[in-house]
Amino acid sequence: MFDKAEFVISNTDYRKCPKPDRHEFAFIGRSNVGKSSLINMLTARKSLAKTSASPGKTQLINHFLIDESWYLVDLPGYGYAKTSKKNRSAWELMIQDYLINRENLQIVFVLIDSRLDPQRIDLEFIQWLGESNIPFALIFTKADKQSLNKGHQSIAKFKKTMKKTWEELPMMFFTSSATGFGKEEVSEYISHILES
Ligand SMILES: Nc1nc2c(ncn2[C@@H]2O[C@H](COP(=O)(O)OP(=O)(O)OP(=O)(O)O)[C@@H](O)[C@H]2O)c(=O)[nH]1
Ligand SMILES: [Mg+2]
């Protein structure tokens, strides 16, 4: 669906990112949840974004230009247990600055592992996005790792937990980068925003 994809630049500072003159979509979530893999799945490229079995692979703000007209952005994950406190606050500054100040950002996709019960760290991050008025959608990842039924159950649990504090629930998607499950839904959602 997205025919052309090329790496543009990596940054630690949103001010050095490409000129914010075109639409942009970013992917965030816990380390190892599958952000980089999802970017590869959406662009049908094996290793456009670098992935790894061990968490903490993506360390920078990575811009990819799609179809020569808009950006996908791969971000470093949060919640990496081995990270020092100093690294953690550096992450927060880099990512929060980027998310708050990047004026061409259309939506942040927050990735959630579909195998897990609602995690406090994800709920807190989502809370912060809400308080900061940053539009977001949720993507439940790794659908292939358990039965669809189990995945749907954990999505239902997540919804139930969110309903305690949120009046309205965000868009939600269910994907597998291993099988391509959910690819069309996410692609169409992005295309719809690009066309509007
Ligand atoms: N089976 C399966 N494995 C996946 C899926 N998505 C990601 N993985 C695996 O999960 C591991 C982490 O994937 P990444 O895409 O590197 O995760 P990330 O969120 O970018 O991680 P950081 O950059 O460290 O924050 C890799 O071993 C991937 O192959 C999926 O949908 N299904
Ligand atoms: Mg990554």
Ligand 2 midpoint to CA 76 (Å): 6
pLDDT score at 81: 65
Q: What atom in ligand 1 is closest to the CA of residue 55?
A: 24
Closest ligand relative to 78 C-alpha:
1
Name residues of the chain where pLDDT drops below 50.
none
CA-CA-CA-CA torsion sign (177, 13, 96, 194): negative
Residue 82's pLDDT is 67
**pLDDT for 64-93, tens place per residue?**
999 999 999 999 999 876 677 777 788 888
What end-to-end distance do the CA atoms of the chain give, in Å?
17
* Residue 100 belongs to domain spanning: 5-195
Q: Is the CB of 40 under 6 A from ligand 1?
A: no
The verdict on the CB of residue 178 being under 6 Å from ligand 1 is: yes
Expressed in angstroms and rounded, the spacing between residue 105 Cα and the centre of ligand 1 is: 23
pLDDT at 188: 98
The closest-lying atom of ligand 1 relative to the alpha carbon of residue 40 is: 15
Tally of domains in the chain: 1
Q: From 17, 3, 53, 9, select the one nearest 32 (Cα to Cα).
A: 53
Q: What is the pLDDT of residue 84?
A: 75
> Which CATH number covers residue 179?
3.40.50.300
Q: Helix, strand, or coil here: 1?
A: coil
